[in-house]
Structures are given as C-alpha cells and as structure tokens.
Amino acid sequence: MKLCIVGTGYVGLVAGTCLAEMGNNVICIDKDVEKLKKLEKGIVPIYEPGLEELILENVKKNRLQFSSDLDMAVKNSDVCFIAVGTPQKKDGSADLSAVFEVAQNIAKSMNGYKVIVNKSTVPVGTCDKIAQTVAENTKFDFDIVSNPEFLKQGAAVNDFLKPDRVVIGAKTERAFEVMRSIYASFLRTGNPVIEMDIKSAEMTKYAANAFLAMKISYANEIANICECVGANAEMVRKGMCSDNRIGTKFLFAGLGYGGSCFPKDVKALISVAKNNGYSAELLTATDNINLRQRYIFINKIIKKYNGNLKNKKFALWGLAFKPETNDMREAPAFNIVEELTKQGAKICAYDPKAMDTAKNIIGDKIEYAASAYEALADCDALILATEWNEFRNPDFDKIKSLLKTPVVFDGRNQYSYEELTKKGLEYYCIGKK
C-alpha cells in the first residue's frame, strides 16, 4: 500500500520505517530539508535500537523515501498519517496547531479518496475538528481515523512490529477495511486489532498513559511511607506484584517518570477534564507526586551534607529519562543538576547515549566524562539517575577506590544495601531507612 507519514519525529519516523519494513511504499514528510538529507544516509536524530539499520535497509530497497514535498506525497498515497508533535502549552493543554496545519495541507493536495490517520496524541474530539478542516479544503471523499501509538522508547521498533494491540477508531467500514489491510501482517500471532469509535480511540491513548504514570507515582508514594514506618519498599513491591490483578510492571520505586509522553499526557488529560467541568483529582495527585519524588531524593543528598554542598562534587550516572534512549525531556537528571549546582555543588556526568543531548541543553553547567568510571574521579559521591544496563553490576571496589568518600545515592534502587555496605560503601536509596 502507498502511505505517507507527515512528521519525522519519534512517532512518525518509527511508524514510517516499520510500515516500510512490512512491504509498504512509504514517503516520510518533514519541513527540515537538512534533517531529511541525514535520514536518507541513516543519520538518525534519536537513539532507538534497531531503527538506523531498518531505515538504511528500506531506503536501499526503495520502500522508504524522505521528502519535503507534501503535495507530491499526498497525491501518490492511499493513506496519509499525521504524526506531528502536540507540545504542552503553559496551561497543560495540548498545542494542536501543527495537527490542523497538516490536515489543511493534506486536504488541499488530495486528488481522490484518502484515509487520513491521526497518530498524534490529541484530546478527545480532535479528529472531529480535523474532519471539519479537511472538508473545508477539499471536494474529495475522505475518512478520518484515530490510530494512537503505544510505543515504549528504547523498544519502539519491536513494539511496532510485534504490537500487543492495535487500536483503530473510525466511522465507516471502508476506513476499517483499509486499516485492517495495513496492519494485517503485524497481527498474525493473534494479537488483536481493537475497533471502536473515534472518540474512544483518542481517549484510550491518554487513559493508558495516565494509568501507567499513576502506577509509578503509587509505587513512589508507598515507598515513601515505607521509609517512614521502617518497611522495605522492595519487599512490599514483591508482595503486591504476586497478586495477578496488580501485575509486576511500572511498580518500581525511584525518581519517577519523565520523557515526552507521561508528563505531557497526564497534564493534558487533567486539562481536558477541567475544560469539561470535571476535577481529575487522582491524575493531579499523580502529577504532583511525580515531581515531588525527585526533590525527596535530592533532599536525601542535601541532608547527608547538612545542607552545605559548597565544594562538593558528585558523579552523575545517567542523563536520559530512561535507558535505551537519548531523550532527556522531563528527565530527573535535570532537577538533580539544577538543585545541586544551585547549592554550590559540582557535577561530572556520564550517559551511554545522551551526552550530546545534554551538552546541547545543559551546556557547560556541568562536566562530562568519557566513561562511567572516569566520572567518579575526585568526587564525593555517586548519584545513579538512569538504570542503564552498564550501571547494573559495576565494580564496587573500583567505585570505592575512585571516590573521595565511599557514598552512593541510588535513585533507581538498583543496588543491594547488604552488598554495598559489605564493600564499605555508604548507601542511600528510596523506600528503605
């Protein structure tokens, strides 16, 4: 099938590449010509395991093209996907200006019936407005579809090629048939295509992300109570997760969630509720707990040094908001850097993939090391902010020898109190006294 994807951000690039991998002819559209030239050469602005290889392979096989010519792409496509950003406004609501601009441009370029698929995360009712925009700018028949993505950064390629489910919201059988055809090859293992009305599909994306964010905040709330009463948060987690009604995922205590989805989507859903006369108190608490969690951890560091961080230097392992990505949007590392440097501390950081991102955003506010162990030199303590695999089983004897004082602040509860104390390291984590 002939497809065009408007937007080569995280969602658009992964979706376009994976759809090409399944045999479709895909044109990815973006305004940034320089970015498009780099993508054609396999130079990818995001780190996502397996993505670069798939791009190069499908470009070579002429199944994947990159272009700035939206008019050409629409005229040569059966289905047009909208995959542009919906950034957060100051009031927490989603900025939909790019979505409607793309919808208008697609409409003006139509030369026959098209299925227009929205993959951008948008509030309920947006697709109705997209339909109105398209109708005002074309004489041709069309269908609007909501097809939200559920990709996890760091595992997005696998998530797209082997989805748990595909959610499709549409109004006509004609549109459903087209979407079934697109996703048929992805779902031979029996994972479902879930068909529903458009508003329910739009809501599903927000509801899923907000629920996962809530689980993380709940885990952190319980961990903080555990510290107060002398319980072990990890043992409590294991006891909870043995109940199959609860499950094991997204219940780890730590620094909370970050990235481009959970923070933005929780706030957007709060805003949607407010605009419709409802106070979403559980979601508001989820958002507040997430931010507070970072400062609870930071205050552990400040308390250790009796509120005086002048002339203290910390090694910071991890800058990305999660492993297997270079994305630093809403990363806890930002809050750690901001607060500790504000109090006079110095920081030397290392991240396997996010160093260039950090240098562009944080600049010379901190130092950067070429390796995890290099970051430890002349530091008073180690702070773990991101649970990359290479940080999971480090040489603790080496850590102790390189640090000025043997202190570890574990923001992801990766290490064992018993093991580190046996090695002579002073250990602080979350959810334990």
**pLDDT of 291-313, one tens digit each?**
999 999 999 999 999 999 999 99
Residue 262 to residue 227: CA distance in whole angstroms: 26
Residue 182 pLDDT exceeds 80: yes
Beta partners for residue 5, in sequence order: 28, 81
pLDDT of residue 1: 93
Residues of the chain with CATH 3.40.50.720: 2-196, 197-433
Question: Do 167 and 223 meet the contact criterion of CB atoms below 8 Å apart?
Answer: no
User: β-pairing, 64-67 with 79-82?
Assistant: unpaired
Inter-residue contact 260 to 320 (CB < 8 Å): no
Q: Residue 42 — pLDDT band, cuts 50, 70, 90?
A: confident
- The topology (CATH level 3) of 2-196 is Rossmann fold (3.40.50)
Looking at per-residue confidence, does 87 or 69 come out higher? Answer: 69
pLDDT in the model for residue 90: 83
Q: Which two tokens stand for residue 223?
A: 């961990």
pLDDT higher than threshold 80 for residue 187: no
Strands 313-317 and 381-384 turn out to be parallel
Chain length of the chain: 433
197-433 under CATH 3.40.50.620, yes or no: no
Active site residues: 261
In this prediction, residue 433 carries a pLDDT of 65
Q: What is the mean pLDDT of residues 243-272?
A: 90
pLDDT in tens, 356-375: 999 999 999 999 999 999 99
Helix (H) or strand (E) holding 115: strand 114-118
Quick one: pLDDT at residue 195?
Answer: 95
